[in-house]
Amino acid sequence: MALKHAVYDAVNRPPTRWLLGLAASAKATLGGDRALFTYDRQTGDWLKRTRAGAMLLPDLRGGEGMDAGQCDEFAREVFLAEYSIRPGDVVLDVGAGIGTEALPFSRMVGDSGRVIAVEAHPTTYAKLERVCRANDLRNVELIHAAVMDSEGTVKITDLQAESYLENKIGSEGVPVAAITIPGLVAKLKLDRIDFLKMNIEGAELPALRGATDVLPIVRNAAIGCHDFLADETGDESYRTKEAVHAILVDAGFTVTSRADDPRPWAAGYLFASR
């Protein structure tokens, strides 16, 4: 394994990097999974194109990232446990990351639907833009901002590589604009949100506290709570599940969870419906 990594690192340089893409494409085709791998200079990632679509991967050694087909499976299993997105739906994707949910959501809502994808971290947002362009997602509207309980400027940590999913709002990091869900609703002239997905590393509580006036137009939601990270790190700002549950119930939702899921992060999700 060490030798394989050494060879990969030796070839993974501008003059010879194309050989890695060629080898990965050939291997996928021989394995029955037709795919084209190309290096994306803009993001520093690999773009894997399959019949299901195009998605960015951090490298070609496996173990990190999902292709477009896997993104679809993941979105259905994790976020759509209680509600299936339908053609024509309006979806608000808060914490869109690099587009792992925005891509399948876009397919699900179709030409008559609308996906608003919101991502705070600048580098991650650039990758989200790249994925949307690579897949020609014309029904996805991108918002570069952090969703909070008030407008202004906040800071988000600047973890890179495989840790980018752990970036969170805090006292240190890079400055980003903060918006509220009511502000988004007004700006985009939304009269309904058929599905709200939220996965923002502990900021779900202020985001929802700032959204109480417009929660009546939200019909279904999947909210990621991160109490497991409070248990792992000792950072109590991650512990939001009880308070988020109360906000959703007060807003008139029926709320369920998968508290017995053996995956701590999955057990933290709350599913709300009317």
Is the pLDDT at 221 greater than 70, yes or no?
yes
pLDDT tens, position by position, 48-106: 999 999 999 988 887 678 999 999 999 999 999 899 999 999 999 999 999 999 999 99
What is the distance between the alpha carbons of residues 12 and 4, in angstroms, rounded to a whole number?
12
How much is the pLDDT for 61?
Answer: 81
In which band, very low, low, confident or very high, does the pLDDT at 218 lie, cut at 50, 70 and 90? very high
Contact 171, 146 (CB under 8 A): no
Task: Return the CATH architecture of domain 69-273.
Answer: 3-Layer(aba) Sandwich (3.40)
Mean pLDDT (whole number) for 29-35 = 84
How much is the pLDDT for 160?
Answer: 64
Burial class (CB in 10 A: 0-12, 13-18, 19+), 123: middle
Is the pLDDT at 122 greater than 90, yes or no?
yes
Q: Which of 153-162, 188-197, 235-244 has the weakest average pLDDT?
A: 153-162
Spell out the domain ranges in the chain.
2-62, 69-273
Q: If you write DSSP's letter for every residue of the chain in order, what string do you get?
A: -HHHHHHHHHH-STTTHHHHHHHHHHHHHHTT---EEEEETTTTEEEEEETTEEEEES-SSSSS---HHHHHHHHHHHT-SS----TT-EEEEES-TTTTTHHHHHHHH-TT-EEEEEE--HHHHHHHHHHHHHTT-TTEEEEESEE-SS-EEEEE----GGGGGG--EESSSEEEEEE-HHHHHHHHT-S-BSEEEE--TTTHHHHHHTTTTTGGGB-EEEEE--HHHHHHH--GGG--HHHHHHHHHHTT-EEEE-TT-SSHHHHTEEEEE-
The pTM assigned to this predicted structure is 0.92
How much is the pLDDT for 3?
Answer: 52
